[in-house]
A and B are shown apart, each in its own frame.
Chain A
Amino acid sequence: MVLFLVGSSLYLGWTKKRDIFPLFSWSLFTKVENTRVDFAVLITHLDGRALEAPRDFMDCRGLFVGAGSIRAYYTIQDLAAAILSRQPKRARDLRRLFEEQYLKGHSGTVRYRVIARRFDPIDKWRTGEYHQVAVSEHTKRAQNTEKKSANTGSSEHSPGSAP
């Protein structure tokens, strides 16, 4: 059994499949990312009003139940990947999951932007600065959600970030 467990984990790790529940590659925190490239959600409008500066969803702990949750973080990664790889059904499912499970807690309309970002983790931790590129923009209404627009590839920088 130990040999099976070790063998399956090595297979999953080598083939980059990572998870076939309950088997797992056990590749946890393996790569030390010197430069991180990931996706994030910025809240741009609340209740129809534009925020002075877009706020990182993960930083909105008082507003949304999923803010700060690592599960929400991975859902955002999957959502952005589905949008970029043009998988509309998967993107729709993941957006619904994100909005209903993690973007809840605020009763009004919420408009948010999915972005791709690149940063040095220690620099970002010290200064908060990073490069970003918009992936898409969505609106979550109180009852039903509707996609407002999608602009893949437009580039911009966060306030105060180095170009």
Chain B
Amino acid sequence: MSSFFRRVRRLLSAPEPVDVDGLFTDHRRRYEQTWVIIRAFYAMHFFWVHRALRNWSEWLEADHAIPIWPLSVFSQIPFPQLVTSVILLFTGSVVLAVVFPHRRLARAMLCAGWLLFGALDNSFGKIDHGFHAWIYVCLVLLLLPNQPPFRIRRSRIKIQEHLLVFATARACFLACYTISGFWKLRQGVLQWIDGEIGWLHPQAMSYLAANRLEQTASETILGPWVIESPLLSGLGTYAGLYVELFALLIVFRPRLLRWWGLSLIGLHSGAQLVMHIPFTSNVMLAGLILVAAPAGRGRASLMETIAQLPLICGTSRLVRMLATRFKSA
């Protein structure tokens, strides 16, 4: 099984020069950097605590909520008491995770706090998806070694384990985009077969923007431009689809991680300016675990980075392979 995964990884990675000099020193450096990122990740939870505190009084008065799982399990408790308990539990679990990020119990408490707080926030008629990626990352970080940093620094295996868990957290975050891109591509093909405007049509973004602006009766800065201009609409449609669809592949091409982080932030900023859809939570997460976190080893020129882009890399590989076969024939 592991050889199968190794082969898959090799297939999805871009060709990189093998450089074993200073590999373990580099791992150690990356461990230190990712540990800071993880601590920052937990500290950023105070932003959500602040949001919970802001909504507290409003939620106390809301006796009309329809609690979703796992909050629905406690439906026999009066809603105001449930609200207070969840907010206190979430705040407490954030404090614990920030103070003891190396303790698995503290991280597990935060996961439980997130599930309850997320359910509470989404118990008012519609489930939003801003918290999902944060919850996934928290769940993956549960797998970090249950040891303080000074012990982990002494062990190469523990450092590797730590880096692998961090890469998995990134993969889970990016997988959400790839799945989203997959559904868009599938539906785009189905709508194209039916002769409708779908994700393969350059006007898709015009329709999506008009739909959204009509849903919420809102106005945006770039919305009218995208609705009226096929060029802008086409650019938004295809760029969005490309960035989403190949997001998971980037885990295997560390040089592109920062670029992809910035692209995803650009995607959400565009969605905000065109359709009034804020995805602040994912922008924060992309900035932290993709843009700010360590990426590939060494420096690469712009052309080398572009050569690793999905589709470009695959095409150049195919051309090289065909050329080699042609020569040998």
Contacts and interface: CB of A to CB of B under 8 A. Distances in A.
B317 to A, nearest CB: 24
Given A2-B168, A30-B184, A36-B211, A19 B216 contact: no
Nearest to A78: B125
Contacts of B129: 24, 26, 28
A69 interface: yes
Interface string B174-218: 011111100110111001000011110100101110110111111
A22 B179 contact: no
A125 B216 contact: no
Contact of A21 (B63, B122, B171): B122
Given A6-B175, A125-B213, A22 B131 contact: yes
B196 A75 contact: no
B254 interface: no
B176 A26 contact: yes
At the interface, is chain B mostly helix, strand, loop or mixed?
helix
Contacts of A13: 179, 183
B132 A125 contact: no
B245 interface: no
Nearest to B181: A26
Contact of A69 (B63, B172, B216, B227): B216
A75 B125 contact: yes
A25 interface: yes
A46 interface: no
Nearest to A130: B214
Contacts, number: 143
Interface in B18-70: 62-66, 68-69
Interface residues of B, number: 58
Given A97-B64, A97-B65, A122-B227, A32 B183 contact: no
Interface residues of A, number: 50
Interface stretch (B96-104, B133-141, B287-295, B319-327): B133-141
Interface in A15-72: 19-22, 24-34, 36, 38, 56, 58-59, 61, 67-72
A132 interface: no
Contacts of B66: 93-94, 97
B119 interface: yes
Contact of B124 (A29, A101, A124): A101
Contacts of A100: 62-64
A122 B230 CA distance: 13
B115 interface: yes
A58 B216 contact: yes
A73 B216 contact: yes
Contacts of A26: 129, 176-177, 179-180, 183
Contact of A121 (B125, B186, B207): B207
A44 B109 CA distance: 49
A74 B217 contact: no
A109 to B, nearest CB: 19
Contact of B217 (A28, A59, A96, A121): A59
A21 B139 contact: no
B154 interface: no
A146 to B, nearest CB: 16
Given A101-B64, A124-B214, A32 B175 contact: no
A5 B171 CA distance: 10
B231 interface: no
B126 interface: yes
A1 interface: yes
B127 interface: yes
B119 A29 contact: no
Contact of A27 (B119, B136, B183, B207): B183
Given A21-B118, A28-B183, A32-B199, 7 more contacts: A9-B179, A24-B127, A25-B183, A30-B199, A59-B217, A68-B218, A70-B126
10 contacts: A1-B139, A21-B119, A22-B118, A24-B127, A30-B183, A32-B188, A70-B215, A71-B128, A73-B215, A94-B125
Interface of B: 62-66, 68-69, 115, 118-119, 122, 124-129, 131-132, 135-136, 139-140, 143, 168, 171-172, 175-180, 183-184, 186-188, 191, 196-199, 201, 204, 206-208, 210-211, 213-218, 227, 248
User: 3 nearest interchain CB pairs?
Assistant: A75-B125, A121-B210, A74-B126
